[in-house]
Amino acid sequence: MTKTVNHVVTRPGRKHGDADVQIPVAEDLTTVPGIRQRDADVSFYSRTYPQETQNIEKAADRQWVWSVYSEETLKHRKRHDELNEPLVDAAAVSGDLEPTGTPTGEDITDAIRLKARELGFGEVGFTKFDRRYTYTGKKRWVKYEHAICLALEQDYVQTQSLPSMDAEFAHFGTYEIEGALLLDLADYIRSLGYHAQVHSPNDNSAPYIPMFVAAGLGQLGANGQLLSPHFGSRARIAMITTDALVTYDEPIDYGIHQFCQVCQVCVNRCPGRALLAEKVWWRGVEKNKLIYERCRPVMARYDGCAVCMKVCPIQRFGMPAVMEHYVATGEVLGKGTHLLEGYTFLERGYFGPGELPQFDRQFFEIPHGRNEEWLFQQFKEKLMNEGLPSEEEIVGFAKQVRSILVKGNSTIGDE
Amino acid sequence: MFEKAQIDALFGELDREWRGKPEFEKISREAHLGIALWDAGRPLEKIDSRAVALIEKHKPKG
C-alpha cells in the first residue's frame, strides 16, 4: 500500500564528493525531530542518578569476558588494545594542548565539516555538549562546550558476515583508524586557533548517541544504536569538543522512531532476547530499552554477536532505499527474508527467519556490577551457603578488595 | 524468496570474481539491495547491472 510522504530529508552523500541523497519520510512514520524526551526528567535523573561508564559500572562482566573469549578473539583483542592504547592516551590529554594558529573570528563550522569529510568521517554534526549526560568520572575532564559529532563507517562486506572474526576485525580496526583521525582533526582545529578535546570512542565521556541525535545525524534505533542515513549502526562514533565559533545543527525526524516499531527485525532476531518490542520511558527519554544482562553473555561467547546490527535494514540497505520502499509498498525492505534475517552462529549452525538459538538459564549467569560489588556478592553467597569463613578466607577477601581499590577504576574499554 | 543456498552461491561467485577489485564493495552493496528488492517483487532498474546479472543467475527457479 502506497504511503503519503510527510516530508523529505536531504543529506550529504555517503562519502565526500558524493551527491546529496533524499529520504522520503512517510506520514505514518512521522513523530518528532530527534527523540521524544521530557527535558525536566533528563535533568532530574542526571542530577539525582548521574551515569557512569559501563567500563566501571559493568566492570565485573567486562573482566569476565576475557575468560570466555575464543583463542582467536583473545589474541586479536590484546593486539587491538596494544595498538589503541597510545591513541586513547593522546585523546585523554588533547584538551590541554594550546592552539597553534590564530583565530580569524569567523565561524569555522564549514571548515571543520569539510576537513572531517575529507578525512573520511561519513557523518559530521555540531551541537552543544550536553553535560547532563557526562559520566561521573569525566565531569571535571570535559573542557569545552561545543560538540562535534563524528561517525566513521565500518567496512560493509566484513560487517555482513556477523557474527564472525572478520566482522570483529572491522569493528576493532575501525576504532584504530578513528582514534588517529580524531587526533588529526583536533590538530586541524588547533591550527585554526582554537582548543580541541578528543572524546575517544574507547574512553567515552558520556553516552554519545543523544548528542548525535541532537546534531541531526540519525535517530535511536530499537537495537539501542544510532541509525544514521547511510550506514545505520555500522559506524563507530566519537566526538571532539571545542571552544571554536561554530553553528549548531538541528535534530531531524527521519521516521526511525516509528519505523522501528513497524520493523522489529532486530527485536525478533536477537539471539539473547535482549531487545524489547515496546518503548519505555527511561531517564526522560522514550526508547526501546536493551536488557544488558541478556546481551552480554551472547556477545562475549559469539564473536561480538551484533546480530542486531546485521539484520537492521537501515544498516544493510541504507535509509534512502528502505524509506523509498516503505513509501512505495508500506512494507519493510528485507523483512522475513533469509537475506536480511538469516545468520550463522558458530557451531550452532544457521538460523533462518523465525528460528533462534536456545540457551539455558545458566548461560546468562555472569558476574555483574562493579568489581567490588561482585566480590561482595560472592562473599555474601559464601556466608549464606557455607557459614562463617576462615580467617584465611577473610584475609584473602580483604586483599582482593584492597587490590581493586588500589588499582582504581578504568574508564577505558569498548563501550 | 532467495534461500540460504542461493544467497551463498551468489555471494560466493561475487567474492571469487570481484574481491580485491575496486568495485567489490559497490557490487556487494548492490547485490544485497537487489536481492531484497527481488524478494519484494520490485523492479531492479536502479541496481548495478553486474549485481543484476548475479541475481538473474542465482535467483530461485520457477
Report the alpha-carbon distance of residue A131 to residue A143 in Å, rounded.
Answer: 11
Q: How far is A176 from chain B (nearest CA, A)?
A: 21
Residues 1-60 of B with CB under 8 A from A: 1-4, 7, 24-25, 28-29, 32-33, 35-37, 39-40, 42
Q: How far is B32 from chain A (nearest CA, A)?
A: 7
Say yes or no to pLDDT of A401 above 90.
no
- A333 in contact with chain B, both atoms CB, cutoff 8 A: yes
Residue A249 included in any domain: no
Please write the tens of the pLDDT for every residue from A145-175.
Answer: 999 999 999 999 999 999 999 999 999 999 9
Residue that the C-alpha cell 562519502 belongs to: A15
pLDDT of residue A157: 97
Conformation bin of residue A346: beta by default, left when phi > 0, alpha when psi is -120 to 50:
left
Residue A282 included in any domain: no
3-state class (DSSP) for residue B14: helix
pTM for this prediction: 0.95
User: What does the mean pLDDT of chain A come to?
Assistant: 95
Contact residues for A293 (Cβ-Cβ < 8 A; gap 6+): A364, A366, A368
pLDDT of residue A315: 98
Residue A6 included in any domain: no
Decide if B37 and A328 are in contact by the 8 Å CB cutoff: no
- A250 in contact with chain B, both atoms CB, cutoff 8 A: no
Residues of B with Cβ-Cβ distance to A352 under 8 angstroms: 4
pLDDT of residue A406: 82
Q: pLDDT band for position A203 (50/70/90)?
A: very high
Q: How far is CA A138 from the centre of its chain?
A: 18
* Angle at alpha carbon of residue A269, lines to A268 and A275, rounded to 5°: 60
Q: How far is A327 from chain B (nearest CA, A)?
A: 13
Residues of B with Cβ-Cβ distance to A350 under 8 angstroms: 4
pLDDT of residue A149: 98
How distant, in Å, are the alpha carbons of A40, A58, A129, A249, A257 from that of A33? 18, 32, 18, 12, 9
β-bridge partners, A236: A152
Decide if A329 and B29 are in contact by the 8 Å CB cutoff: no
Report the alpha-carbon distance of residue A94 to residue A96 in Å, rounded.
Answer: 5
Give the residue-averaged pLDDT of B26-43.
98
DSSP result, A26-85: EGGG---SS--B-HHHHHHHHHHS----HHHHTHHHHHHHHHHS-HHHHHHHHHHHHHHH
How distant, in Å, are the alpha carbons of A159, A181, A377 from that of B32? 13, 30, 48
Residue A18 included in any domain: no
Please write the tens of the pLDDT for every residue from A229-278.
Answer: 999 999 999 999 999 999 999 999 999 999 999 999 999 999 999 999 99
Say yes or no to pLDDT of A415 above 70.
no
Best of A159, A263, A311, A339 to mutate (most B CBs within 10 Å, chain B): A339
Structural domain boundaries enclosing A108 = 39-53+69-242
| Candidate from A331, A338, A339 with C-beta closest to B32 | A339
Report the alpha-carbon distance of residue A212 to residue A397 in Å, rounded.
Answer: 43
Question: Could you tell me if B55 and B44 are in contact, meaning their C-beta atoms sit under 8 angstroms apart?
Answer: yes
Residue A131 included in any domain: yes
Residue that the C-alpha cell 571545542 belongs to: A242
DSSP result, A211-243: HHHHTTS-EE-TTSSEEBTTTBT-EEEEEEEE-
Question: Could you tell me if B55 and B38 are in contact, meaning their C-beta atoms sit under 8 angstroms apart?
Answer: yes
Question: Could you tell me if A100 and A200 are in contact, meaning their C-beta atoms sit under 8 angstroms apart?
Answer: no
Residue A223 included in any domain: yes
Question: Could you tell me if A49 and A362 are in contact, meaning their C-beta atoms sit under 8 angstroms apart?
Answer: no
Residue A148 included in any domain: yes
Please write the tens of the pLDDT for every residue from A315-374.
Answer: 999 999 999 999 999 999 999 999 999 999 988 999 999 999 999 999 999 999 998 889
Question: Could you tell me if A185 and B53 are in contact, meaning their C-beta atoms sit under 8 angstroms apart?
Answer: no
| Candidate from B2, B25, B32 with C-beta closest to A316 | B32
* Chain B residue with Cα closest to A351: B4
Say yes or no to pLDDT of A409 above 80.
no
List b or e across A174-202, with b for residues whose CB sees 16 or more CB atoms inside 10 angstroms: bbbebbbbbbebbebbbebbbbbbbbbbb
| Candidate from B25, B28, B39 with C-beta closest to A339 | B39
pLDDT of residue A260: 98
Decide if B39 and A325 are in contact by the 8 Å CB cutoff: no
Structural domain boundaries enclosing B47 = 4-58
Report the alpha-carbon distance of residue A129 to residue A205 in Å, rounded.
Answer: 10
Give the residue-averaged pLDDT of A48-60.
93
Residues of A with Cβ-Cβ distance to B43 under 8 angstroms: none
DSSP result, A69-98: S-HHHHHHHHHHHHHHHHHHHHHHHGGGPP
Residues of B with Cβ-Cβ distance to A322 under 8 angstroms: none
* Angle at alpha carbon of residue A66, lines to A62 and A71, rounded to 5°: 150
| Candidate from B7, B29, B36 with C-beta closest to A156 | B29
- Largest Cα separation within chain A, whole Å, is 74
Please write the tens of the pLDDT for every residue from B4-18.
Answer: 999 999 999 999 999
Report the alpha-carbon distance of residue A368 to residue A375 in Å, rounded.
Answer: 10
Q: How far apart are the first and last CA of chain B?
A: 11
* Side-chain-side CA neighbours of residue A244 (13 Å): 37
Q: What are phi and psi of A17, to 5 degrees?
A: 100, -20
Say yes or no to pLDDT of A407 above 80.
no
* Chain A residue with Cα closest to B1: A337
Of A375 and A27, the one with more pLDDT:
A27
Number of domains in chain B: 1
| Candidate from B25, B28, B36 with C-beta closest to A339 | B36
Residue A334 included in any domain: no
Helices assigned H by DSSP within A330-390: 338-341, 371-386
Question: Could you tell me if A243 and A235 are in contact, meaning their C-beta atoms sit under 8 angstroms apart?
Answer: no
Conformation bin of residue A249: beta by default, left when phi > 0, alpha when psi is -120 to 50:
beta
Q: How far apart are the first and last CA of chain A?
A: 40
Report the alpha-carbon distance of residue A236 to residue A153 in Å, rounded.
Answer: 7
Question: Could you tell me if A288 and A276 are in contact, meaning their C-beta atoms sit under 8 angstroms apart?
Answer: yes
Percent of chain A with pLDDT over 70: 100
Best of B4, B18, B19, B25 to mutate (most A CBs within 10 Å, chain A): B4
* Chain A residue with Cα closest to B34: A317
